[in-house]
Amino acid sequence: MSTRTITVLTHGRPSETAGALRELAELADRHGAVLALDADETAKHSLSPGVAGIALGVPVTADAELCVALGGDGTILRALRAYAGTSVPVFAVNFGQVGFLSTVEPERMREGFERALAGTLDVLSLPAIELDGPAGRHTALNDVSVHRKVGGRVAELSYAVGGEEIGSVRCDGLVVATPAGSTGYNLANGGPVMAWGVAGMVVSFIAPHSLSARALVIAPDDVLVLHNNSREPLAVSVDGRPVGEIAPQQEVQARFADDVATLAQMDGSSFYRRLREKFGRLSR
């Protein structure tokens, strides 16, 4: 009988997750599973061989049973990207500030992990945005942002949907978000929150120099085309990571892609409860 493999990815503060890692290793060993840590995770936690329930220096592979993310939304997104296009669910424990994508808080980690090992957790399929442009193809699970560079002039972007030009806006940039990403940069821009399960993507503007620039929800089958009418290149980021730029008179295309990643969920979890709990916490 082959060993059950569970990939583990953690955020950059190992002292905060060391105890959780030890507890998960004990649980995994008890259930005939092993936590697989790649070379970076092994070095980060200064681990030595011989710890029960942990395998060191194991590359991230698609044949894992589960991926555990210990961190905030950045770490969870990294885990979701690592297993995008597979059926491997990400079980996320919130060690960040908000953790909107997390499965459980640390105090419920043991309960949730044991249920994950038993295969009784719900799973949620998450969509993405496929971005095509001069820098190649990139997949965004949260959002794509196009923005002027530091010290650069105000950007001028025209945008078209379904072959029809909608308008041209002078702004600091814009954000194209998935439903899961609509509670991040898009929300900060005044864009609408899209409930998980809604198909489509939303476009919102960063500091628009116009009273008529409004956020737009785009249907899942429509292609969004962004054209750089500025005199300078614009920076492009995917899920907060720089991926390239759009030169003057160049364009990028964004498409909605369904069922790209899988997130583990506790029974009874809902988008609206998550919205109340996560953002309610910030207002206290």
> What is the pLDDT averaged over residues 72-79?
94
Asked if 198 and 278 sit in the same domain, the reply is no
Which pLDDT value is given to residue 282? 47
* Of 210 and 236, more confident: 236
User: For 106-151, what is the HEC assignment?
Assistant: HHHHHHHHHHHHHCCCEEEEEEEEEEEECCEEEEECCEEEEEECCC
Asked if 35 and 136 sit in the same domain, the reply is no
Asked if 10 and 108 sit in the same domain, the reply is yes
Asked if 186 and 271 sit in the same domain, the reply is no
Instruction: Please classify residue 113 by burial: count the beta carbons closer than 10 Å to its beta carbon, then call 0-12 exposed, 13-18 middle and 19+ buried.
Output: buried
> What is the pLDDT averaged over residues 225-235?
96
- State the sign of the Cα–Cα–Cα–Cα dihedral 29, 110, 18, 4: positive
Asked if 137 and 252 sit in the same domain, the reply is yes
**CATH number where 185 lies:** 2.60.200.30
For residue 2, what pLDDT band results from cuts at 50, 70 and 90?
A: low
- Residues serving a catalytic function are 73
Total domains present in the chain: 2
Q: In this predicted model, what pLDDT tens digit does every residue of 98-131 receive, in sequence order?
A: 788 999 999 999 999 999 999 899 999 999 999 9
Asked if 143 and 248 sit in the same domain, the reply is yes
CA distance 24 to 141: 27
Which pLDDT value is given to residue 211? 84
Asked if 84 and 166 sit in the same domain, the reply is no
Asked if 95 and 195 sit in the same domain, the reply is no
Asked if 165 and 221 sit in the same domain, the reply is yes
Which pLDDT value is given to residue 281? 55
> What is the pLDDT averaged over residues 166-172?
94
Residue 91 in 3-state DSSP?
strand
Domain span at residue 86 reads: 4-121+266-282
Whose tokens are 């105090």? That residue is 107
Asked if 254 and 272 sit in the same domain, the reply is no
- Strand spans (E) along 172-274: 173-177, 201-206, 216-218, 224-228, 234-238, 241-246, 251-265
CA distance 67 to 36: 9
CA distance 17 to 9: 10
pTM over 0.85: yes
Q: In this predicted model, what pLDDT tens digit does every residue of 78-103 receive, in sequence order?
A: 999 999 999 999 999 999 887 889 99
Taking 90 as the threshold, does the pLDDT of residue 238 lie above it? yes
For residue 63, what pLDDT band results from cuts at 50, 70 and 90?
A: confident
